[in-house]
Structures are given as C-alpha cells and as structure tokens.
Structure 1
Amino acid sequence: MIKLVAIDLDGTLLNDQKKISQRNQVAIEQAKAQGIKVVICTGRPLEAIHPFLAQLNLEEPGDYSITFNGGFVQKNDTGEVLEKKVLTSEQVKELITLAQTLDMPLDLLSGGKVYTLETSTNHLSLYPEINPLLTHIPTPLADLDWQRPYNKAVIGYEQQLLDQKITEIPRHFKEQYEVIKSRAVLLEFMPKGVTKAYGLALLAKDLGLTAAEIMTIGDEENDLPMIEYAGIGVAMANAVDQVKAVANVVTASNEEDGVAQVIEKYLLK
C-alpha cells in the first residue's frame, strides 16, 4: 500500500507554462485527504517552491519537501531542516576552477540565495531566468564567504553549448560529485551520494516507511535515482529515455495531467 508519493516539479507536476493544472491540484488534495503523504521532490530550494506548496495546501504541520535534489529534507510549515548534506569549501573551489576552465558561468546556492560568480567573461548565466523566485547576488570571487554553507553549484546555459561542455568535464568530477542535468539548460553539482533517492530514504526512515510504500513521479536525469528507489516508480510520457527505462509505470505527459492520471489510477479510493 502506497503511503507517500514524491513528485518532481518541472516537467512533471508543472506544465510547460510552469503552472499546476486544476486536475493535478485536485488529485493531490484528494490523496492528502486520504492520509497519503505528498512530498515535492525538487532541485529547487524551499524558497522557490512556496507558491506551489501554498496552492496545494502543503504548508501544514506534517508536510515535507525534499529540496536541493535530496540535499535537504525540510518541514514545509517552518522550513526546519531535518536532514542535510552540503558542499565543502574545497569542493566549491574545485568547481569554480572547473567553470573557469570550461569558460562557463557558475552559480552557488545557499538556502534561498544564489551567488552568481565571475567564472566566464563570454557567457552569462541563465539561472536568474530559470529560477526568478530566488535572490540572485552577483559576487566577485574575492568576496565569496567561505564560512557560508553551499548546497549545490549550477551551470545554467543554452543547451547546445552546455551539452558540448559536459563532454569536456574530466571523469574525476563525476566520480567525486553527483553531476546531473535537471533541465535541458541546467547542469547541477551536488555532494557525492546526494540524490532525490538519498533524501527520500532519509525522510522515509524518519516517518517509518519502506521504499515499497512509496511512489515517485519524475521526468529528468535527476529523478532517475528516486524512480529506481520507489515501490512504484512513474515516468512521465515526456521523460528522458533513461527514466522511462527503469520506471514501473509510464503516465501521460506534464501537458496532459499525467500526475493526476497516475494518482487517480493507483492511489485514490
């Protein structure tokens, strides 16, 4: 019996206009009313998803989110961090050097703040456009606060060049970090071992749940671990092939209320 459903945002719950459809909203509200935990599982920080949580009535005591691709497990009502894993200062320095070598823009996320670094003079970061709800702070490298905890580093840029640059990243980085694309124009670096499945497993342990009691729904590379982890892993019709290959179920696309369709079929009484 499924007791928790973890849902990705972009390309999954959100349609192409970055909105939650009425059918998706109703299905989620009905699932919660039946006692099923509904957990948003996203690469975004909590500050960037509050409007969606409010719309879904997921800001009450007992509501949780997995943020920063599994780096934080948080209470939605207070923002309290129950579990966390962040980058070390040495890792941040190494990622800055990588971005400079690739001549690509690098943004560091710390909570709801984004520090935009001067790692490229030729390419400007797209991250402010990708996540406009966050506070973006242009930061010279000399002014970077090394005492601040950084959750992840991201390169946001046009897909064709970004994909080319990904092929130039030395193998070492993929061995030492979680390096994944969360969108076509966004590459993310997290501490090794931090995935949505990692965060979800920590929350499941806190709640006394097993993987068999969890359904996950997603579409992108960063959703792959949680799709494999869950008792029922669901891929959107618009998901990348790697996600579809490991999913137990493929639902309709994010433009066709795929989240609602799978909740209605498998979870609602």
Structure 2
Amino acid sequence: MFSETRKEKSRRKKVCLMKIFDSVLLLSDIDGTVAWDGKFVHRNFEAIRHFIDNGGHFSFSSGRNHRDIFFVLPNLCELVNMPCILCNGSYLYNAQTTEILNPRYLDSKYTIHLLAEIRKKFPKVGFRVTTPDGFLVPENDAVIMQQLAQWGTEDLATVQDQSQFDGERWFKAVFLSDELTLSHVAEYIQSHYQNFFTLSRSSTTLLELQPFGVSKSYQFPFLRRQYPGSVICAIGDFDNDAEMLQSANMAACPENASEEIKKIASIHVCHCRDGAVADFIERIENETFSVRRS
C-alpha cells in the first residue's frame, strides 16, 4: 500500500476544507429567468441560500436599474453577496452599501441628438432614459408612462421637456414599440451611429441603447479582479443575455429562452416558473463535486 506524500496530504486537507461552491460566481438574469410575470419563484430562493451558504457568490445581471430592481426583488440584499450587473452592464451596484461601481455613461452629445431624430422620424415610438435617480421621460410620452404605470414604477419617472435634456450620467435609453417598428429604429441607429452605441433587445417590444461596447459581460473583468481565480456561471433567457452567456465558463438558459439563446447556452434547464436557477445550481453542484473528487 502506497503512503501519501506531504504534498498529497496537504492537497487532500485543502480539498476537504473547501466548500462546494468556493470560487464560483453565479450571475442570473431576472425577468424570465429567476422571476416569472414579475414574481420571484420561491424554489430559487432556497437554492440560492444553499449556494451562498456553501461558498458561492451570487448576484443578478439585468437590464433593470438599482431602483426598479427592488419592485420585483424587495429582499435583494438577502439574495446577493456580490455586486449586481445593472442596466445591461453599464454599471455594478453593491446592494449592501448602495454604491455604484465602474459606471459607463452614454455619450451625452450624440444621445441627445439621436433621441431628437428618433422623436422626429418615429413619433409613435416611446422612449425613456435611465439615470442614477430613476427614469427620465419626455413630456407627452403616453406610451412610456402607460408602461411604467403597468409595472407600478411611474413614481421613478421624472417628466421633462425634451429640449431640457442635458445627457448627464445617462446609463442607457430604452425604446418601446412593436417589433417591426423597433427593427426600423435599430437599422437607423446602426447606419448612423454604429460607433457610438451598442443595441440589445430585452423583449420583442423593447430596444435598449447602451454605451458603445457595453453588454452584460462588460463587467466580467472587474468581477474577475475582485474575485481572482473565480469561475463565472451565468443564466439568461433573452437576446440581451447573449454576450454574458458567451463569456461565461458555464452558460445555461431556461426552457422559455429565445431560440438564439438556446443555441448559445450549453446547459438547458426547466422553465423559469418551475425554478430554472435552482435547476442550474444543482447542475453546478454536480459538476463541481465530480471535478473535486477526481
């Protein structure tokens, strides 16, 4: 029978002391991934607690901002133990300290000019801008105000004459219309402002405008510096999750994901309403345990 060397004993002791999710960062989209129809799926809560209690770092990666995220996740601080990626990657948010980290803002000059052109060329398209204070909405934009009222977030909106927009500290802009019209809006922006903005879709009726080069994966280098040696796992359901899933070490999507996302994600789990994040955590645990046993 062979005896263990000192190095082998040290390695075995270290492995025994490690928790199953040590060095694992898990990022989840919110709407359509961890929450269905605006409601958090309870099965996910228990799984997230298990993940964190066993050494993992969990947070959300969303198009939402640090104000409206609490409308769907009022207990956010209980669910996360690392900064959230918000506004599709425009900044990180520490829910415990309420600090905004590593922000990227839209170019004020070009954004103001673009919004004026969109209002002229596509008058029926609604739009809003996300700022540190919430939403900025142009006067008489009934389309956007109706949407915010449906979500219960109209109190987060500041209504202002568009001529008074200053473009300062704008994280992103969102256009609201039908799918075909938004396709025309996207074509116009890409043909005239290709090197100034990045576009993404968070649903068939929402087109999102971010700073050039920004997506949900934009903040990955920052997180890797904060958590050296970490493995990033990500789960999402719609097109604005694409870059995040492509850049993650493990990528998953729920059954209800778009066809594009299903092609990107190597791991397919159950429908959002059945606890997709919980399913993914089980897969991570099984794979991590297998690797550490070998």
Query: TM-score by structure 1 length?
Result: 0.87
2:269 to 235, 251, 254: 251
Query: CA shift at 1:29, angstroms?
Result: 1.0
**1:84 equivalent among 90, 99, 103:** 103
C-alpha distance in structure 1 between counterparts of 2:53 and 2:195, whole Å: 42
Secondary structure of the equivalent of 1:187? strand
SS in 1 for 2:210: strand
Q: After superposition, where does 1:64-213 map in structure 2 within 5 Å?
A: 64-100=83-119, 101-103=121-123, 104-118=125-139, 124-125=143-144, 127-129=147-149, 131-133=151-153, 135-146=156-167, 148-163=168-183, 165-210=185-230, 213=231
Number of residue equivalences: 261
Change (3 A) 1:178 1:25: same
Post-superposition CA distance 1:65-86 (Å, at most 9, x none): 1111111112111211221100
Which residue of structure 1 aligns with residue 260 of structure 2?
A: 242
Secondary structure of 1:239's partner?
A: coil
**2:59 aligned partner, one-letter code:** V
The letter of the residue matching 2:89 is G
Q: Deviations over 1:18-49 (max 9, x none)?
A: 11122111111110111111110001111112
Structure 1: distance between partners of 2:116 and 2:127: 10
* Gapped regions of structure 2 (runs ≥ 5): 1-20, 290-294
Unaligned 5+ residue runs, structure 1? none
Look up the equivalent residue of 1:89 and give its one-letter code. S
- The structure with the largest alpha-carbon Rg is 2
Distance 1:243 1:221 in 2: 6
Residue-by-residue CA offset, 1:197-225 (whole Å, 9 max, x unaligned): 01233222222244xx1110001111000
1:171 aligned counterpart, secondary structure: helix
Deviation at 1:12, TM superposition (A): 0.5
Q: Distance in 2 between matches of 1:40 and 1:54?
A: 13
Choose from 24, 29, 41 the match for 2:61: 41
The Cα shift of 1:140 comes to 0.5
User: Is the CA contact (8 Å cut-off) linking 2:186 and 2:199 kept in structure 1?
Assistant: no
Deviation at 1:254, TM superposition (A): 0.9
TM-score by length of 2: 0.80
Task: Tell me if the contact between 1:99 and 1:106 (Cα under 8 Å) persists in the aligned partners.
Answer: no
Question: What SS is found at the alignment partner of 2:283?
Answer: helix
CA positional deviation for 1:129: 4.1
Q: Secondary structure at the match of 1:57?
A: helix
Give distance in 2, aligned partners of 1:257 and 1:206: 29
**Aligned residue for 2:28?**
7
CA contact (8 A) 1:127 1:155 kept: no
What is the CA-CA distance between 1:163 and the residue it aligns to?
4.1
Aligned AA for 2:34?
Answer: L
1:133-179 C-alpha deviation (Å, 9 max, x unpaired)? 36112210122234x31111111234454345444544233443111
1:264 counterpart residue number: 282
Contact 1:70 1:200 in 2 (8 A): no
Report whether the alignment pairs 1:23 with 2:43.
Answer: yes
C-alpha change, 1:47 and 1:88, in structure 2 (3 Å) is: same
Partners in 1 of 2:65 and 2:222 — Cα distance? 17
- Structure 2 vs 1, CA of residues 199 and 132 (structure 1 numbering), >3 Å: closer, same or farther? farther
Q: What's the Cα RMSD here? A: 2.4
Cα distance change on mapping 1:72 and 1:115 into 2, 3 Å: same
Deviations 1:93-131 (A, max 9, x none): 1321332222222211102421112597xx722541465
SS where residue 181 of structure 1 aligns? strand
State percent identity of aligned pairs. 22
Distance 1:86 1:24, change over 3 A: same
Match of 2:248 in 1: 230
| Whole-Å separation in 2 of the counterparts to 1:164 and 1:76 | 37
